[in-house]
């Protein structure tokens, strides 16, 4: 039977992680993500999992990479200052195709800025934070229910594509309480393990550009390295072709499956003069503003900022004279939306920083300022 809870977003995230099969958490507590660590410290041991509080975030990211290669679905949760420290290991996780989940409950930034206030300032960092070419997946919840659902989805996508996945929440969603419904039949993607055969190739390009992942101790004698490696896992750093083949595959396994990964929701976009684009907590303000607005205004809610849903955005804004991006930063996804619209619409920004959720009134004022009919 489905169960109902009235809980915080961060607690829902921890609940989602356990439901998804997470059995290892390593992290360093930081506001406003701390309740995720607290809840998992309490709950993981009850399901045979492990919780480790590490000495810092660099070690935390390293530990979950190790946890995943040890065979356990693994995650960490942090906020901006922590995710900045994790960037080195995030790159290593992409290069070694390690399925792990990073939850970033975003707060005022840069640096340590505003621990208890909300922001969405880390969106481009999720895309480009570590050095080099890679294609991340990121999910942005806009309700407590979605923080639960998207955490499960993050684990599933991580396993499906053997890739680190970011859950890009914010202080509003992390700390607010709402009802969630936990259904009985939650779809879980289990880890695919390779069969033990002679001449096993650990980084072969099969299924979706990935190959089943062995765990340490399974006896595969696999070499895991951040250096450019061939499909056997051996370093081959001076051969342009080896590097090109590896990185193209790591990127293409996401890009070639964008239609399956990208998710948006929209309302009234087809005949709207103005289409509002948002993700995460500001969606709540946008929906209310659209409901109160007497003009032809539609909205797009982006569930997956990365990979960016260019095609859906282009299609849904095709008839809109103006497009308004509402986000809690001074313009990050705004540039992606502008690029996707290909100059068909005038793209405007309502970028709100300081820590408070944009209000429906602020959005309605911006709509008036944009004009239209």
Partner 1 sequence: MRTEIRICGFGGQGIILAGIILGKSASLFDEKEAVQTQSYGPEARGGASKCEVVISDGKVDYPKVQSPDILVAMSNEALMKYIVDLKDEGTLIVDPGTTDVEDVKDFIEEHNIKVYEAPATKTAIDEIGLKIVANIVMVGAITKITKVISKEAAIKAIEASVPKGTEEKNIKAFEAGYALAE
Which residues ranging from 292 to 351 are in contact with partner 1 (CB under 8 A)? Answer: none
3-state SS track over 287-314: HHHHHHCCCCEEEEEECCCECCCHHHHH
d(CA 206, CA 149): 28
Min separation Cβ 291 and partner 1, Å: 7
Nearer to partner 1, 354 or 371 (CB): 354
Min separation Cβ 261 and partner 1, Å: 27
Nearer to partner 1, 11 or 160 (CB): 11
Question: Which residue has tokens 């996401």?
Answer: 254
Which residue stretches of the chain are H helix? 9-20, 34-43, 57-69, 80-95, 123-128, 144-161, 171-175, 240-255, 258-261, 282-292, 310-316, 333-341, 360-370
Residue 268 binds partner 1, judged by CB under 8 A: no
Interface pick for partner 1 out of 23, 175, 253, 301 (rule CB under 8 A): 175
Report the SS3 class of residue 358. Answer: coil
Min separation Cβ 285 and partner 1, Å: 5
List the one residue out of 293, 253, 251 whose CA is nearest residue 274: 293
CA 111 to chain centre: 21
Nearer to partner 1, 143 or 329 (CB): 143
Nearer to partner 1, 79 or 125 (CB): 79
Min separation Cβ 69 and partner 1, Å: 37
**Contact, 312 vs 336, CB < 8 A?**
no
Residue 291 binds partner 1, judged by CB under 8 A: yes
Question: Which residue has tokens 């289990």?
Answer: 190
Min separation Cβ 315 and partner 1, Å: 25
Kindly indicate which of the ranges 10-18, 146-154, 176-184, 345-353 contains the residues binding partner 1, using the contact rule CB under 8 A. Answer: 176-184
Nearer to partner 1, 4 or 259 (CB): 4
Interface pick for partner 1 out of 26, 44, 276, 287 (rule CB under 8 A): 287
d(CA 242, CA 240): 6
**Contact, 229 vs 246, CB < 8 A?**
yes
Min separation Cβ 179 and partner 1, Å: 4
Nearer to partner 1, 139 or 357 (CB): 357
Nearer to partner 1, 42 or 131 (CB): 42
d(CA 91, CA 122): 16
Interface pick for partner 1 out of 204, 231, 288, 310 (rule CB under 8 A): 288
List the one residue out of 101, 136, 105, 132 whose CA is nearest residue 34: 105
Residue 179 binds partner 1, judged by CB under 8 A: yes
Residue 198 binds partner 1, judged by CB under 8 A: no
- Residues forming the site for partner 1 (CB under 8 A): 4-6, 31, 115-116, 172, 175-179, 281, 284-285, 287-288, 291, 357, 359-361
């Amino acid at each position: 039977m489905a169960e109902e809870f009235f809980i915080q977003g961060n607690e829902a995230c921890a609940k989602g992680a356990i439901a998804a099969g997470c059995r290892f958490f390593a992290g360093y507590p930081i506001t406003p993500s701390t309740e995720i660590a607290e809840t998992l410290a309490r709950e993981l041991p009850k399901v045979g999992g492990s919780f480790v509080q590490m000495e810092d975030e660099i070690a935390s990211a390293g530990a979950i990479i190790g946890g995943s290669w040890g065979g356990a679905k693994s995650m960490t949760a942090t906020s901006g200052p922590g995710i900045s420290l994790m960037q080195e290991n995030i790159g290593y996780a992409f290069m070694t195709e390690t399925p792990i989940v990073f939850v970033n409950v975003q707060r005022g930034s840069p640096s340590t800025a505003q621990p208890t206030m909300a922001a969405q300032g880390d969106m481009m960092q999720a895309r480009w934070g570590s050095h080099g070419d890679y294609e991340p997946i990121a999910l942005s919840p806009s309700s407590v229910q979605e923080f639960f659902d998207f955490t499960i989805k993050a684990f599933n996508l991580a396993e499906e594509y053997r890739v680190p996945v970011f859950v890009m929440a914010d202080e509003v969603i992390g700390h607010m309480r709402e009802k969630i419904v936990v259904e009985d039949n939650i779809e879980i993607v289990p880890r695919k393990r390779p069969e033990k055969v002679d001449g096993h190739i650990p980084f072969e390009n099969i299924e979706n550009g990935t190959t089943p992942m062995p765990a340490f101790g399974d006896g595969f004698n696999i070499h895991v390295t951040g250096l450019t490696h061939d499909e056997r896992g051996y370093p081959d750093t001076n051969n342009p072709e080896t590097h090109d083949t590896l990185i193209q595959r790591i990127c293409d396994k996401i890009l070639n499956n964008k239609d399956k990964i990208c998710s948006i929701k929209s309302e009234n976009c087809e005949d709207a003069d103005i289409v509002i684009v948002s993700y995460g907590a500001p969606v709540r303000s946008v929906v209310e503003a659209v409901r109160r607005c007497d003009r032809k205004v539609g909205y797009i809610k982006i569930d997956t900022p990365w990979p960016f849903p260019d095609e859906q955005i282009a299609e849904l804004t095709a008839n809109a004279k103006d497009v308004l991006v509402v986000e809690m930063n001074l313009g990050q996804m705004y540039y992606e939306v502008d690029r996707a619209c290909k100059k068909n619409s005038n793209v405007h920004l309502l970028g709100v920083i300081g820590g408070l959720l944009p209000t429906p009134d602020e959005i309605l004022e911006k709509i008036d300022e944009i004009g239209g009919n």
